[in-house]
Structure 1
């Protein structure tokens, strides 16, 4: 392996960008990644607005979220094949143009059917952008600044899901849901112009190979079935629903068939050979496990604040947003440490820090103030660059330069599916634990005989108090599991081989 993350692949004779060109080019790529990841969560708090505007039920409105997630999850792992077939810069520019166009069409949609159709197209275009920005940043940055490139990219990936609900709440409360999509257009145009002028020389070599239609079909089947199962499982009471059982069986059989097909196919659509590298396998797996815990916090905290503490979507977003402060400060510091010290130790520190911060939240109570919520978010930001930049750098540094795009695509796919899994499991367990805690509390609480209130009003107040405490206990219980998950992911990192250090 090289003494740092590989710069990329293809024509290595093109010198890296320097000065203002590097600043503008790197910022444009990072911004493109940010807006694509932002769209994963920006509409979450706006489903009621969208549903009301289009005269559909909130349940139907959630397909605006599901359609994008399914399409993106299917397309992300195809990045390596797309790059080999069409070239990295060409794929990126086409995908970004399509993303901007579909964003405009989403904002102009007047029916749910049109909106879902354009969200699917938007997800298909957005999928390759995440790993492609990572790959291209490693190409345009000088090799000695590869850590900085990964740091910048990683921070946009981590901060964007947090910024999504904040932006979504502000836009929905003050403008209209259409602007959730229109705001993507100027960003896409700026990134397109910048990349067209500065990054085109870094195009990669193309390889002509037959299209693996069988592998593509199996990928669509099992990933689509799995994503829909995760999105709709809680709503359909999970395996009590024949639809969920059918989706689970389809996903399981499709996944096994896909693995067999791809391992025997001469020109596979996804390069699974990256898993032969122990460093990549361990780093990508540990990152996915830790990201699941991170995403569970990201999903549950706003829900808890809005349903239990009467926060508005905007104020819940503000409380969550403090996580970006220290993350931005420490990202360049971690980037300089990559390759100089054992990367595994950086990752382990970051994951253990996130686990410890998560443990602080297990002491939350229903009567806590704003800063009790915001302070853990702020100090959490210190550990995020160590965890995310380190695990990304270790994974990419463990594969050959020509496997960079495939590795980035697979790592992004694993992270996307981990987030979907965490969302479904955490919200399901949250509901079930709340019911169990409520039943336990009802069994031990004795209503006061004299409250000075009418009997019906006293019972309602007591019922609300019990519900509030039941939700708080359930939230703390899930936070405990998430904290332990971070420590487990940190232990996994020790299975990776020690990366070489540069002097």
Structure 2
């Protein structure tokens, strides 16, 4: 019956480690998936990258997991899983903060891929250790339900994270755009002198205003994206604290 075999077995949340693991995975994946979608869009909107170059700029995040994941699978049982997750979350925080203080429309390709490369080490120490923490202490007959629950919340948080990130990005861009344009008028001497110089290249005031508007839009998109990256950095620091409420030992026969 469904009472004995529910679709979502909420009794799993009686386990402290499962609750902490699921909350950590859900919150972390919310910000992680949002950033996955945001970064390529940001590159295309502010720097004129096409889809291929935006993908190439994001691709270095996959290098470190190829090198580190086999080592974690082999030697991870000799390390406190909380240490691995802490390293992962702190690396996420560092890389997102790094991104927030360095990204601008004039950044070069190297400046884009370096945070991505180092963030790969965080990805490698993320899923397996947190899954092991979540499953630790559960009886064998609960592993299937626990796996379904974990996948459900991870998929849900990924969808929600993507939607929230793109919505927040758009709304913050509108706010910053209005703030930056508030001082663009005929009484601003900087605007007047700049428009006179630009008029020589664009031939009309409308061309000058269009170019200024495009520049303001690029800056607004960058500022709002950097705010989201800083928010993600703070969230991962807070999640680092949560992980240490999990109770060892961390052994899960169903993980591997």
Taking the aligned partners of 1:267 and 1:296, their CA distance within structure 2 comes to 33
- Residues 186-205 of structure 1: matches in 2 within 5 Å? none
Taking the aligned partners of 1:455 and 1:500, their CA distance within structure 2 comes to 67
Taking the aligned partners of 2:23 and 2:104, their CA distance within structure 1 comes to 33
1:495 aligns with one of 245, 248, 256? 245
Q: What SS does structure 2 have at the residue aligned with 1:413? A: helix
- Residues 86-485 of structure 1: matches in 2 within 5 Å? 210=1, 212=2, 265-363=3-101, 364-445=103-184, 446=188, 447=191, 448-451=194-197, 452=200, 453=202, 454-485=204-235
Query: What corresponds to 2:254 in structure 1?
Result: none
Structure 1: which 5+ runs fail to align?
1-209, 213-264
Provide, for residues 346-376 of structure 1, a one-character-per-residue CA deviation record: whole Å limited to 9, x for no partner.
Answer: 1111111111111110021111111211111
Could you tell me whether the CA contact under 8 Å between 1:293 and 1:483 is conserved in 2?
Answer: no
Which deviates more from structure 2 when the two are superposed, residues 312-321 or residues 388-397?
388-397
Alpha carbon RMSD of aligned pairs, Å?
Answer: 1.5
What number of residue pairs does the alignment pair up? 239
Query: Are residues 296 and 405 of structure 1, via their aligned partners in 2, closer, same or farther at CA, if it must alter by over 3 Å?
Result: same
Q: Alpha-carbon deviation of 1:398?
A: 3.1
Provide, for residues 79-138 of structure 1, a one-character-per-residue CA deviation record: whole Å limited to 9, x for no partner.
Answer: xxxxxxxxxxxxxxxxxxxxxxxxxxxxxxxxxxxxxxxxxxxxxxxxxxxxxxxxxxxx
Q: Alpha-carbon deviation of 1:343?
A: 0.9
Q: What SS does structure 1 have at the residue aligned with 2:247? A: coil
Q: What SS does structure 1 have at the residue aligned with 2:220? A: helix
Taking the aligned partners of 2:250 and 2:100, their CA distance within structure 1 comes to 38
Could you tell me whether the CA contact under 8 Å between 1:338 and 1:393 is conserved in 2?
Answer: no
Provide, for residues 198-220 of structure 1, a one-character-per-residue CA deviation record: whole Å limited to 9, x for no partner.
Answer: xxxxxxxxxxxx3x3xxxxxxxx
Q: Alpha-carbon deviation of 1:498?
A: 2.3
| TM-score, L = length of structure 1 | 0.46
Q: What SS does structure 2 have at the residue aligned with 1:339? A: helix
Greater length-normalized contact order (CA 8 Å, ≥ 6 residues apart): 2
Provide, for residues 35-91 of structure 1, a one-character-per-residue CA deviation record: whole Å limited to 9, x for no partner.
Answer: xxxxxxxxxxxxxxxxxxxxxxxxxxxxxxxxxxxxxxxxxxxxxxxxxxxxxxxxx
| TM-score, L = length of structure 2 | 0.89
Q: Alpha-carbon deviation of 1:304?
A: 0.5
Q: Which runs of 4+ in 1 moved over 6 A?
A: none
Q: Alpha-carbon deviation of 1:344?
A: 1.0
Could you tell me whether the CA contact under 8 Å between 2:137 and 2:250 is conserved in 1?
Answer: no
Could you tell me whether the CA contact under 8 Å between 1:287 and 1:489 is conserved in 2?
Answer: no
Q: Alpha-carbon deviation of 1:397?
A: 2.6
Taking the aligned partners of 2:141 and 2:130, their CA distance within structure 1 comes to 19
Q: Alpha-carbon deviation of 1:267?
A: 4.0
Could you tell me whether the CA contact under 8 Å between 1:296 and 1:482 is conserved in 2?
Answer: no
